[in-house]
Amino acid sequence: VGMAKKTYDLLFKLLLIGDSGVGKTCILFRFSDDAFHTTFISTIGIDFKINTIELKGKKIKLQIWDTAGQERFHTITTSYYRGAMGIMLMYDITNSKSFDNIAKWLRYIDEHANEDVEKMILGNK
């Protein structure tokens, strides 16, 4: 049985984290499906989408994981931090509490992610 041919040059595992309701799922759907959903549906546990982009002649496969923001899913979602090459930490610019919680999310990254993980903070809404 032959091996399936790879359809990409590079694979990146990225993680979206942040408080519940900051727009992680909306950003993911906008990027992966070019769709915008106006209704709020809370992510249960974790979900992911795959999108392939082309950059400098290379096909790059992005595996983007969307995590639930609620505390009750914390033990499930933090296990996905390991192996992530990049973590996008989101907050809602209209919700100061979600901005204040960035420090908590950064601690989770320090505790559970690889040391060399790239971090990005995104303000949304």
Report pLDDT digits (tens) over 79-102. 888 889 999 999 999 999 999 999
Q: Are 91 and 106 in contact (CB under 8 A)?
A: no
| AA identity, residue 42 | S
* Domain range annotation of the chain: 11-38+48-124
- Distance (Å) of CA 48 to CA 13, 25, 29, 44: 10, 9, 10, 12
- pTM, entire model: 0.77
The encoded tokens of residue 58 equal 């290379």
Q: What integer pLDDT is reported at residue 46 of this predicted model?
A: 72
pLDDT tens figures, 12-67: 999 999 999 999 988 888 887 767 666 656 666 678 888 999 999 999 999 999 88
Is pLDDT at 124 greater than 90 in this prediction? yes
Kindly indicate whether the domain formed by 11-38+48-124 is annotated with CATH number 3.40.50.300. Answer: yes
Residue 109 has pLDDT above 70, yes or no: yes
pLDDT at 70: 67
Report the C-alpha gap between 66 and 59 in whole angstroms. Answer: 22
